[in-house]
Structure 1
Amino acid sequence: MRIRIRTKWNNQEREVSLEDTVSVLAFNSWRIGMQSLLEIENENFQTDTQMQRIAVLEEMMAFLVHLLDRIAYSSLNDSDREALVSAFAVKLADHVHDNARDFAKGDHRNNFINKLNIRLVDYSETTWANIAQEPGFSMGLTFGNHIADALGPRDKKWVLDYIQQVLMPEMVKLFKQVLARLGLINNEN
């Protein structure tokens, strides 16, 4: 998956605020999600409507919020981690709302936040490789099942393997690159 990460600041000497950091993180996360959705469609998995595509993107964004929380757990204190993760979730909710309102009326922001709260509970009960800072098998399975449910019944059996073995590792790699470029983690790969 090829995606160009954008993390350069115009004024290199100024202090970067939490809001600026979260804005860049959310922008790049949305790009990762859009590229991942395109990969899913290029593999000929079922996406029939724009709202189905939004549902897939919501699942990807919920997964990335949880990844940020897990990664930040080892490097930030509780209050800084909470501020970062909360601001990131709100910014992603804005992206979801702005994109979904083109296809359906309604409060997509709060619907995403409600879905996110449910997903965070789901993911909190899954495995995490602390040393590698990567999802364990059960987290990948949970993520794959949520994507499969959003895609529909036709490809449910096949998409799970693709999500776990191909798409999720690539998403994690790209997300960690964004985090490293923003200085939120050490550049590991």
Structure 2
Amino acid sequence: MALRIKSHWKDDARARSLPEIASALAYIAWRIALDKAINLHCERFVYRDDAQRLAVIQEYLVFLVQIADRLAHAELDEAERRTLIVEFAKKLFGHVQDNSQDLLGPGDYGGPFIALLDTRSGEYAEFQFAGDGPSYAFLRHLGHEIQCVMGESEANRWVIDQVMDKDGWDAYKHFARAYHNLFE
């Protein structure tokens, strides 16, 4: 089933602040990450439990923050870029905290997500991003991290290929389109 994402403002004549755009991006990123986690299950990859599924979603969210940062770097000045990405990460923090708490019970889930985001940001900084999107190495890193989360059991041994060749690229395309639409 195709993922439908609303990425145009209802009242497009009104100017939007960067925090408003960041909030919309966070909602869209969550939907994309959730869709990709569900797609892995549909492709017959096996999750051990909800915590593992949430960890995969978080890896996709970190990836999409990197995409947003690269897109913002090309279009915004440094202060605007920082505002957008910080607000985006704060909104994702809330989504991760709320959804994890709903599934796993009380606990601090947002804090570890921000720590993961900080760690992965340094790792993704090594990879190229051009006008046509993330490099092979960029996508391979996403696939590798999801492979580490899923494990290399017989059922999951090819998850890295699924993420690199299809799902990661698809997530990028959906997110980049929505990003550009929100700034129109």
Shorter chain as normaliser: what TM range?
Answer: over 0.9
Relative contact order higher in (CA < 8 Å, ≥ 6 apart): 2
Match of 1:30 in 2: 30
Match of 2:50 in 1: 50
Match of 1:143 in 2: 142
SS in 1 for 2:158: helix
Match of 1:5 in 2: 5
Larger mean CA deviation between 3-12 and 94-103 belongs to: 3-12
Amino acid at match of 1:120: S
SS in 1 for 2:75: coil
Q: CA deviation at 1:11?
A: 3.3
Q: CA deviation at 1:156?
A: 4.9
Is the 2:26–2:91 Cα contact (8 Å) retained in structure 1? yes
Question: Is 1:126 matched up with 2:127?
Answer: yes
Q: What are structure 1's unaligned runs of at least 5 residues? A: 185-189
Q: What are structure 2's unaligned runs of at least 5 residues? A: none
Match of 1:59 in 2: 59
TM-score when scaled to structure 1? 0.90
Q: CA deviation at 1:135?
A: 0.9
SS in 2 for 1:13: coil
Question: Is 1:84 matched up with 2:84?
Answer: yes
Deviations 1:55-109 (A, max 9, x none): 0011000000011111111111111111101110111111000000121332111
CA RMSD of aligned residues (A): 1.5
Larger mean CA deviation between 5-14 and 147-156 belongs to: 5-14
Amino acid at match of 1:105: P
Amino acid at match of 2:18: L
Q: CA deviation at 1:167?
A: 0.5
Q: CA deviation at 1:9?
A: 3.3
Tell me how far apart the structure 2 counterparts of residues 16 and 28 of structure 1 sit (CA, whole Å): 16
Match of 1:183 in 2: 183
TM-score when scaled to structure 2? 0.93
Larger mean CA deviation between 152-161 and 52-61 belongs to: 152-161
Is the 1:73–1:81 Cα contact (8 Å) retained in structure 2? yes
